[in-house]
Amino acid sequence: MGFAFAILPLALRMGKDEKSISSFLARHLEYFNTHPYLSGAVLGSVIALEIDNEHHDNSTDISRLKKSLMGPYAAIGDSFFWGSLRPLTGITAAALAYQGSFCAPFILLLLFDPLQLWIRLKGFMEGYRHGWQGISYIQSWDLPRLARIVRWGTIICLAVAAACLGQGIAGFYAGIWTQPLVSIAVLVTVLLSFLAVERGLSPLIILYGMTAGCVALMI
């Protein structure tokens, strides 16, 4: 329904009658589910094909385009934006907030929003300009590779933040001399946990193992 609503102005602008508009919207009420930040690229390409559809019947190509792109774009978008970029910006903002910085929420928005807004806008424009070939713009970003890079940045930031937090707790409870040891232990634990998950180890096993280790240290 969201896709049909987004493309409705095109039907009205093309001067279609009520019956034609109904038929037009019925074609775009087919199942479509993808990542919201990459849907603009699909929408732009579909609009370009719909404009050309007045002269050539592209209905089959339009449906095929939507079906072929929604799955890959959903996976790519989820992996990059939800699985990599958002955790990185969230951890950065949380670390600043822990330090008492009132700029933390604004830093989160400044780190996250410009890129996703640019991809949404530019993706739509490139799709509108090039039709089927508009997918080359999203391909040019190579988001799966960027996701891996950003994910490593996320885990490093998380490890550093956890080490700093552990250092403060150790200094409060056990004394200043234990701070470097606790920081190193936390840093190494977080990095090794991430590597274990990358190798296929269940996060639940890691969580239970760390819990058992903490209980053993307390005893």
pTM, two decimal places: 0.77
pLDDT at res. 112: 95
In this prediction, residue 184 carries a pLDDT of 72
Domain annotation covers residue 215? yes
Distance CA 56, CA 168 (A): 68
Percent of the chain with pLDDT over 90: 38
What is the per-residue pLDDT for 197? 77
Same domain, 117 and 219: no
Phi, psi of 34 (to 5 degrees): -145, 180
Domain-ending residue, one of 81, 114, 141:
141
Predicted pLDDT of residue 145:
92
Pick out the chain residues at pLDDT < 70: 15-16, 163-183, 214, 217-219
Same domain for 211 and 183? yes
What does the pLDDT read at residue 16?
67
Q: Is residue 2 part of a domain?
A: no
Same domain, 46 and 133: yes
Q: Give tens-digit pLDDT for 28-55.
A: 999 999 999 999 999 999 999 988 877 7
Cβ atoms of 150 and 88 within 8 Å: the answer is yes
Position 217 in a domain: yes
In the prediction, which pLDDT does 142 show? 92
* 58 falls within a domain: yes
Same domain as 35, residue 137: yes
**d(C-alpha 215, C-alpha 207), whole Å:** 12
Structural domain harbouring 212: 142-219
How many CB atoms are located within 10 Å of the residue 27 CB?
Answer: 15
Residues in the chain, total: 219
Q: Does some domain include residue 166?
A: yes
> Domains in the chain: how many in total?
2
Let me know if residue 1 belongs to a domain: no
Among 62, 78, 91, 200, which Cα is nearest to 155's? 91
Residues 111 and 165 in one domain: no
